[in-house]
Amino acid sequence: MRLPYKQSLLVSAITLFVAVACSKPAAEYRQSLFIFGTVVDLKLRGVSDQQAKEAVQVVERAFQRMHRDWHAWKPGELSALNRSFASDKPHPVTPFLLPLITQSQLLFEQSEGLFNPAIGKLIALWGFHSDELPSGPPPSPEAIAALVDLAPGMDDLEVSNGQVRSHNPAVALDFGGFAKGYALDIAIDLLHKQGVESAIVNAGGDLCVSGDHGGRPWRVGVRHPQGVGILAAVDALDGECLLTSGNYERYRKHDGVRYPHIIDPRDGLPVRHIASATVIDREGGRADAAATALTVAGPGDWYHVARRMRLKYVMLVDEAGTVYMNPAMARRVDFQDGAPERIIISDPL
Ligand code: AMP
Ligand code: MG
Q: Quick one: pLDDT band at residue 17, thresholds 50, 70, 90?
A: very low
Q: Quick one: pLDDT band at residue 110, thresholds 50, 70, 90?
A: very high
Q: Quick one: pLDDT band at residue 248, thresholds 50, 70, 90?
A: confident
Sequence-ordered list of residues with C-beta below 8 angstroms from that of 5, at least 6 positions apart, any chain:
none
Residues facing 274 on adjacent strands: 318
What distance in Å separates the CA atoms of residue 36 and residue 175, rounded to the nearest whole number? 12
Residue 88: per-residue pLDDT: 81
Question: What does pLDDT average to over the chain?
Answer: 92
CA 24 to ligand 2 centroid distance, Å: 39
What distance in Å separates the CA atoms of residue 79 and residue 75, rounded to the nearest whole number? 6
Sequence-ordered list of residues with C-beta below 8 angstroms from that of 341, at least 6 positions apart, any chain:
321, 322
What distance in Å separates the CA atoms of residue 306 and residue 317, rounded to the nearest whole number? 15
- C-beta 265 within 6 A of ligand 1: yes
What distance in Å separates the CA atoms of residue 249 and residue 235, rounded to the nearest whole number? 25
pLDDT in tens, 156-167: 999 999 999 999
Substitution site in 174, 248, 266 for ligand 1 pocket (most atoms within 8 Å of beta carbon): 174
Query: Helix 49-69 and helix 77-84: axis angle, to 10°?
Result: 20
- C-beta 288 within 6 A of ligand 1: yes
The number of the ligand 1 atom at minimal distance from the alpha carbon of 115 is 20
Are the C-beta atoms of residues 277 and 318 closer than 8 Å to each other?
Answer: no
Q: State whether the Cα torsion 88-94-100-105 is positive or negative.
A: positive
Residue 338: per-residue pLDDT: 84
CA 46 to ligand 2 centroid distance, Å: 31
Helix (H, G, I), strand (E, B) or coil at 38: strand
Asked whether the predicted pLDDT for residue 9 surpasses 50, the reply is no
What distance in Å separates the CA atoms of residue 117 and residue 166, rounded to the nearest whole number? 13
Residue 246: per-residue pLDDT: 86
- C-beta 208 within 6 A of ligand 1: no
Taking residues 141-149, report their average pLDDT.
98
Residue 171 is which amino acid? V
What distance in Å separates the CA atoms of residue 269 and residue 335, rounded to the nearest whole number? 32
**Nearest of 213, 209, 205 to residue 233 by alpha carbon:** 205
What length does the chain have?
A: 349
Kind of pairing, strands 198-203 and 29-35? unpaired
pLDDT in tens, 212-241: 999 999 999 999 888 788 999 999 999 999
Are the C-beta atoms of residues 239 and 264 closer than 8 Å to each other?
Answer: no
Residues surrounding ion ligand 2 at CB below 5 Å:
177, 245, 288, 291-292
Are the C-beta atoms of residues 147 and 269 closer than 8 Å to each other?
Answer: no
CA 178 to ligand 2 centroid distance, Å: 5
Portion of the chain with pLDDT greater than 90, in percent: 84
Taking residues 28-56, report their average pLDDT.
96
CA 187 to ligand 1 centroid distance, Å: 21
Report the range of poorest mean pLDDT among 80-84, 177-181, 250-254, 313-317: 250-254
Q: Quick one: pLDDT band at residue 115, thresholds 50, 70, 90?
A: very high
Residue 53 is which amino acid? K
Query: Helix 284-308 and helix 179-193: axis angle, to 10°?
Result: 130
CA 270 to ligand 1 centroid distance, Å: 10
The number of the ligand 1 atom at minimal distance from the alpha carbon of 181 is 3
Q: Quick one: pLDDT band at residue 15, thresholds 50, 70, 90?
A: very low
Asked whether the predicted pLDDT for residue 14 surpasses 50, the reply is no
Asked whether the predicted pLDDT for residue 306 surpasses 90, the reply is yes
Helix (H, G, I), strand (E, B) or coil at 205: coil
Number of H helices, E strands in the chain: 9, 19
Q: Find how far residue 128's CA is from the centre of its chain.
A: 18
- C-beta 144 within 6 A of ligand 1: no
CA 263 to ligand 1 centroid distance, Å: 7
Portion of the chain with pLDDT greater than 70, in percent: 93
- In this structure, the residue with its CA closest to atom 6 of ligand 1 is 177
Taking residues 334-339, report their average pLDDT.
90
Give the chain's end-to-end CA distance (angstroms, integer). Answer: 75
What distance in Å separates the CA atoms of residue 60 and residue 291, rounded to the nearest whole number? 25
What distance in Å separates the CA atoms of residue 162 and residue 93, rounded to the nearest whole number? 6
Asked whether the predicted pLDDT for residue 42 surpasses 80, the reply is yes
CA 245 to ligand 2 centroid distance, Å: 5
The number of the ligand 1 atom at minimal distance from the alpha carbon of 250 is 10
Residue 26: per-residue pLDDT: 63
Helix (H, G, I), strand (E, B) or coil at 83: helix
Asked whether the predicted pLDDT for residue 10 surpasses 90, the reply is no
CA 262 to ligand 1 centroid distance, Å: 5
**Nearest of 272, 276, 292 to residue 117 by alpha carbon:** 292
The number of the ligand 1 atom at minimal distance from the alpha carbon of 291 is 4
Are the C-beta atoms of residues 293 and 286 closer than 8 Å to each other?
Answer: no
> Which ligand approaches the C-alpha of residue 71 most closely?
1
Taking residues 79-90, report their average pLDDT.
93
Residue 19: per-residue pLDDT: 40
Residue 16: per-residue pLDDT: 39
User: Quick count: other Cβ atoms within 10 Å of Cβ 14?
Assistant: 10
